[in-house]
Amino acid sequence: MRLIFREIRALPTLFAGALAVLLALSLVAPARAQITFPSAAPISAGNVIVRTQPTVTEYSGGLQSFYDENIVLYGASPDLAFILENKSIVTNSGNIVSNGKATAFTATGFGDTVLDTRYNLYETDGVGSTFRIAPYIGIDMPTGMDNVNAEVPRTLQPASGEWGTREALTSSWQTLFWNAQALIGYQNYAGSDGFQTGSSLLADAAFHYLIWPSDLDREVPSEVFASLETNYSLSAVDRMNGMAISGTGGQLWTVDPGILYSAPTWGAAFTALLPVLQQYRGPGASRYDYGFEVTFRYSFFTYHHW
Amino acid sequence: MHGFANAKLGLWLGLGLMVAQSLAGSATAADQVPVKPALPPGYGEVQVVVLGVTAPFFTFGLVKRFEQIPGVEHTSFNLKRGTADVIVKPGATVTDDDLRHAVRNASYSIGSIHWIAHPSAKAAEN
């Protein structure tokens, strides 16, 4: 599923933080790049696509985040798909400065899980082209570890501990030589233990251009695409016991060039995540420097579907 | 942590080799003049125009759906023409409805169905 949609959300989810702890530790939750939403691209009934997507992001102040997100897409019917996303491992590392003394920290553990449902609302197909619109609805489930290292603020724990919902409308226009996609979405969190991640509005777009092969008048075994994506998010400030946490919320806009190899049963991609605009609400934010994401996916078939 | 990094490096090197091997194999195939083998006696062939298929990745589910139909031996797909070439075993009964159903289950639309040769029941007995 090379056309899996990319979304970057600004952020607060795992990295916003408890105000008192943040003040004491002089470390504020960083903006976070995350690519999750699949596009409106077709998926056959009974088709299962498994993706693993390790992502590394660097922030100002030496903070580094790594996570490996595993995604399983299942075509339940020609129009209905379920998407299960789980961060199998999340590692946040850096230095905590407390009373003028820097202490290295690492917080590693399981991340949260999201279950999405996608329905193919509109479809118009031609020879070598298709335009589709599909709404999404999903649930964020707090399945991960939100307290693996007691020395680390909750915002830097591997998981958020919050339930949440997300809704999105995606569209994709695919041809033999290029694909264009767009998404607008909204994420909301229920809060946990007095902490609440700010809700986010998401707007993404992507363009993929075929660079190999040039001859499609045969049985094509694989393709290589150049990709350029852009991800924007506008987020409300995070809160602890109702009080706004400085340096959270705001907006993040990234541009993400990449390259994608795609064969019928497997594919791989490399994408750089480059920030263009970062504005956070209040001082103290760890600024997003850059990120890299690699993706490997495998597709197989079951004959079980609705 | 070092071992983990080495393991990941090895994984991606392996993936790179798979890509290189796949590209090399494809280039060799592209250099050759495609010669369509003659249909064995008794086999049927049907060409189905499928709308909405844009890349090899999306042919996977479609081909699997065709090959799920009892009696279908093999399916290949031409992206530019949007045509699935479906080979049917001798004696098999594959209907247009079976083909339409397979296309829709793959989340695509049917364009047209053109039987080039119907399978022969007699050949199946040989």
Q: Encode pLDDT of A237-278 as tens digits.
A: 988 888 988 888 899 999 999 999 999 999 999 999 999 999
Q: Residue B51: which of A47, A125, A219 has the nearest Cβ?
A: A125
pLDDT tens readout for residues A51-73: 999 999 998 878 899 999 999 99
**B22 token code pair:** 């796949």
Q: Residue A130: which of B34, B54, B78 has the nearest Cβ?
A: B54
pLDDT of residue A305: 66
**A189 token code pair:** 């969190």
CA distances from A141 to A39, A50, A115, A131, B117 (A): 21, 20, 8, 32, 54
- Find the angle CA(A21)-CA(A26)-CA(A31) to the nearest 5 degrees: 90
Residue A185, in any domain of the structure:
yes
Q: Do A128 and B23 touch (CB under 8 A)?
A: no
Domain locations along chain B: 1-32, 44-125
* pLDDT top residue among A268 and A36: A268
Q: How far apart are CA A299 and CA A263, in angstroms?
A: 10
Lowest mean pLDDT among A28-37, A129-138, A231-240, A289-298: A28-37
pLDDT of residue A207: 94
Q: What is the CATH number of the domain that holds A162?
A: 2.40.160.40
Residue A5, in any domain of the structure:
no
Secondary element (H or E) of residue A171: strand A164-175
Residue at A122: amino acid letter: Y
Q: How many domains does chain A have?
A: 1
Q: Residue B56: which of A79, A179, A221 has the nearest Cβ?
A: A221
Residue A98 has pLDDT above 90, yes or no: no
Task: Give the mean pLDDT of A140-148.
Answer: 90
Beta bridge partners of residue A58, listed in sequence order = A64, A290
pTM over 0.95: no
Classify B44-125 by CATH class: alpha beta
Residue A32 has pLDDT above 70, yes or no: no
Residue at A167: amino acid letter: E
ipTM of the complex: 0.80
The mean of the pLDDT values for chain A is 84
pLDDT of residue A138: 94
Residue A135 has pLDDT above 50, yes or no: yes
* Res. B14 pLDDT band, cuts 50 70 90: low
pLDDT of residue B17: 52
Q: Which residue of B has its CA nearest to A40?
A: B107
Three-state secondary structure readout of A245-278: CCCEEEEEEEEEEEEEEECCCEEEEEEEEEEEEE
* Structural domain harbouring A51: 13-300
Residue A144, in any domain of the structure:
yes
Residue A8, in any domain of the structure:
no
Report H helices in chain B: 2-31, 56-68, 96-105, 121-125
Q: How far apart are CA A37 and CA B28, in angstroms?
A: 37
Residue A285, in any domain of the structure:
yes
Q: Is A245:A238 a contact under the CB 8 Å cutoff?
A: yes
Residue A81, in any domain of the structure:
yes
Residue A143, in any domain of the structure:
yes
Lowest mean pLDDT among A147-156, A197-206, B22-31: B22-31
Q: How far apart are CA B103 and CA A89, in angstroms?
A: 38
pLDDT tens readout for residues A283-292: 877 788 999 9
Task: Give the mean pLDDT of A38-47.
Answer: 87
Contacts of A220 in chain B (CB under 8 A): 56, 79
pLDDT tens readout for residues B96-120: 999 999 999 999 999 999 999 999 8
Q: In the 8-state DSSP scheme, what is residue A157?
A: S
Is the bond preceding residue A275 a cis peptide, omega within 30 degrees?
no
Residue A2, in any domain of the structure:
no
- Find the angle CA(A160)-CA(A166)-CA(A170) to the nearest 5 degrees: 135
